[in-house]
Amino acid sequence: QQQVKQSPQSLIVQKGGISIINCAYENTAFDYFPWYQQFPGKGPALLIAIRPDVSEKKEGRFTISFNKSAKQFSLHIMDSQPGDSATYFCAASMSYNTDKLIFGTGTRLQVFP
């Protein structure tokens, strides 16, 4: 019940296309859902995050869509660029235990020119 399932494992997108990464969770006590971006040789860095009181959050070309009833959330990258090529991790935590993020298994995104 503590797992966060992420798909796809890898994704290849043409420059200018839309990249979509999906995550699903079981624990209804989760109420904080961040996405982290990791470039090769670097540590993960927070990209965007959402709480379940909203169904969508947009920051530039990055949008999180959240479906509380389905217990799913997804990251959409519009107008994907080669510089977006990285590994993306969804994560979830409970507000009374936010020190402990549960990470998804990661999605390796490659954007080709």
Could you list the beta-strand ranges (E) of the chain: 4-7, 10-14, 19-25, 30-38, 45-50, 56-59, 62-67, 72-77, 86-94, 102-103, 107-112
| Minimum CB distance to another protein smaller for 10 or for 28 | 10
Length of the chain: 113
Contact pick of 7, 22, 72, 105 for another protein (by CB under 8 A) = 105
Site for another protein in 81-100 (CB under 8 A): 87, 89, 93, 95-96, 98-100
Is 24 within 8 Å of 71 (Cβ atoms)?
Answer: yes
Shortest Cβ 81–another protein spacing (Å): 22
CB of 91 to another protein, least distance (A): 8
| Least distance to another protein, CB of residue 36, Å | 8
By the criterion CB under 8 A, which residues form the site for another protein?
32, 34, 36, 38, 41-46, 49, 87, 89, 93, 95-96, 98-101, 103, 105-106, 108
